[in-house]
Amino acid sequence: MSINYQQILNEIVEETQYLTGKGKVADYIPELAKVSPNQFGIFLQMMDGSSYHVGAAHTQFAIQSISKVFSLSLAVSLLGEKVWERVDVEPSGTAFNSLLQLEYEKGIPRNPFINAGALVVIDMLISELKKPKEDLMDYIRMLAGKNEVHINKKVAHSEKQHGFRNAAVANLLKDFGNIHNKVEDVLDLYFDMCSIEMNCAELSQTFKMFANHGVLPGTEKQILTRSQTKRQNALMQSCGFYDESGEFTFTVGLPGKSGVGGGIVALFPEQFTITVWSPLLNEKGNSIKGMKALELFTTKSELSLF
């Protein structure tokens, strides 16, 4: 049975209209508060090269925590199992910027997708890479298959001016001995990474490697082993949406990652990657319309892992 993907995307646009205007943008980062709130785009990238899209699928936005998938995969490709000596693999159950959990667990972040875990991963990259910022950007551009992937300097500046909670997390990690480099260097790269701008089409392309068992599509280049890719996807399934990861698994049934810029990327191994973007967030920091759109997509297409 052939599936009319374009019709499904068109139906999703209509069936999520009632959510327009609901939620709020991530105004704790002032530059993100300036984003036009009612934009909505979807880009579906099939592994055979065909694609489908609706709405603002080619509008750039700050990918925020989606970038943590890239930093983690680069760290794993460099360090392998050593990564898990400094960061755990369990769902958090608390806010993504929680200090209490980090204190209770003596400086070992619950997983690499909460802010504490991502900061430890960044610290690993600074220790391993000769030019951490340039090398990380080159890695992401390689996954995207294009050189036009850049940091939004205004968003990065806004984050650095208002990132007091992340600074507190980083300093607590340093106090526990789980940050080895200068705190200011770790925060600088972290804020820059979160301020990378991409659009739905670019993100869908960049995630194809994770849907292709670690092989860069169109090449024979094995970026991650099959086992490493499986584990990365499993972490996205269980931890990719902070303390709403269970809800995403329950309603959507795909591994994925969200960001407070309003983007969500999800994938089905060997089948497709899909990115949705809508800046208005729920109280957990996930896109309201994006979450519903992906639930509708897997329901209508009958394509989920479960």
Active site residues: 65, 68, 190, 242, 260
Check: CB of residue 186 under 8 Å from CB of residue 246: no
Check: CB of residue 79 under 8 Å from CB of residue 90: no
Residues linked to residue 197 through DSSP beta bridges, in sequence order: 62, 150
Distance CA 82, CA 62 (A): 30
> To which H or E segment does residue 214 belong?
none
Residue 54 DSSP class = E
Strands (E) located in the chain: 41-46, 51-55, 61-62, 150-151, 196-198, 256-258, 263-268, 272-277
Distance CA 296, CA 155 (A): 31
Alpha helices in 176-284 (DSSP H): 183-194, 200-206, 226-239, 245-251
Torsion of CA 122, 128, 129, 135, to 10 degrees: -50
